[in-house]
Structure 1
Amino acid sequence: MSIGSLLIIIAILGFIVGGVYFLFKSARKFNLSDEQKQRIDERNKALDKEEQAEQED
């Protein structure tokens, strides 16, 4: 393997690792209020009931 090929492989790996690191650092966490969490739980329960009703038909 020549030096040029090795440098290209190192550069490509650097781009991949850098891209993953950038995505990791730029990700934001969701800060939901208690009311929002409650609405999400209610909506999920309603959807679960609908799915069970469809499966029973």
Structure 2
Amino acid sequence: MSITGIIIILLCLGMIVGGILLLKKSAKKFNLTEQQLKDIKARNQALEKEEQQEK
């Protein structure tokens, strides 16, 4: 393999790894209040109940 081919492969790998690291660094966790968690759980239960009724 030629030097230019190796350089191109290394650049591509560097871009992929850099993109993954950037996504990992910029990811944020959700800080939800107790009321929001309660609403989410209630909505999920309602959706599960609807799905079971459709079957």
TM range (shorter): over 0.9
Q: Using the aligned pairs only, state the percent identity.
A: 55
Equivalent residue pairs, number: 55
RMSD: 0.6
Unaligned runs of 5+ in 2: none
- Partner residue in 1 for 2:30: 30
Matches within 5 A, 1:1-57: 1-55=1-55
- Aligned-partner Cα distance in 2 for 1:52–1:31: 31
TM-score (norm 1): 0.92
- Structure 1 segments of 4 or more deviating over 2 A? none
TM-score (norm 2): 0.95
